[in-house]
Amino acid sequence: MRKLVYFFLILFTNLCLAQSAELRHAINSCAMGNSSDCYEVGETFSKGDGVEQDYIKAIEFYKKACDGGVEDACESIGYARYDGVSVRHDYLEAVKEYLKLCDSGEAQACNSLGHEYYKGSGLRQDFVKAIGFYEKGCQGNVAISCDALAFAYYFGIGTEYYRNACELGEIEACMKIANAYERGIGVDVNVEQALIFFGLACNMEDQWACDEYQRLTQKY
């Protein structure tokens, strides 16, 4: 039994030493300008993987990686600031990080910006800017952006966004456009279209949609 405990103790010690050596190598590589290794060091400190968890150090290395063009690192900083993890709850700094990501084509960051401007948390509420960022998110196939955009417009020109969100798997969007076609909300009544979208939501295993599809089929 003692030999077994001793064996695992040695094994654990060797693993720790190996991790320490790997971390030192990554830190040195980061100092030499390897942005990917800066990000990996940030991840190590953020998760406490083989080291004491330290969000301050994590953000320090994320910042270096972000400056070096690692988008995941920029996003990690944004999330940290947004969630108030070991940094001042600074929405303006988070917005800067998300803007950088959104401008580089990160659709989820555009969606986050749209959400922030829409609800006005830490920022002056601006529906025009919110819609602009939701449009970018929707164009990047973020379903919730399409849904939010359609809600902001409330049908009319928003119908196409509900259609996009539905096709991207957003069940609620399928239900909204189906109801719109059935009741003529913002569009002409079209039972066939209503059945199509109820059917799509039903295919996503939404029981309410299946019930509505059955109801409408029996009604017409």
pLDDT at 219: 82
Matching CATH number, 21-88, of 3.40.350.10, 1.10.10.10, 1.25.40.10, 3.40.50.300? 1.25.40.10
Residues counted in the chain? 220
Backbone angles phi and psi of 87, in degrees to 5: -135, 160
Alpha-carbon distances, residue 209 vs 164, 174, 188, 193, 201 (angstroms): 18, 9, 21, 14, 6
pLDDT at 12: 37
pLDDT at 5: 39
Domain coordinates in residue numbering, the chain:
21-88
DSSP 1-57: -HHHHHHHHHHHHHHHHHHHHHHHHHHHHHHTT-HHHHHHHHHHHHHTSSS---HHH
Q: Helix, strand, or coil here: 105?
A: coil
- From the list 48, 104, 118, 51, the residue with the least C-alpha distance to 74 is 104
Q: Which residues, other chains included, contact 39 with Cβ-Cβ below 8 Å and sequence gap of 6+?
A: 61, 62, 65, 70, 72, 73
For the chain, first and last CA: distance in Å? 76
pLDDT, position 207: 93
Quote helix, strand, coil % in the chain, to nearest 5: 75, 0, 25
In the chain, the amino acid numbered 127 is F
What is the chain's pLDDT, residue by residue, as a tens digit (220 residues)?
A: 554 434 334 433 433 433 567 878 888 888 888 888 888 888 888 777 777 777 667 777 887 888 777 877 777 776 665 555 544 445 566 677 788 888 888 888 888 888 878 777 666 777 667 778 888 998 898 888 888 877 766 555 567 777 888 888 888 888 888 888 888 776 788 999 999 999 999 999 899 999 999 999 988 7
Phi, psi of 176 (to 5 degrees): -65, -45
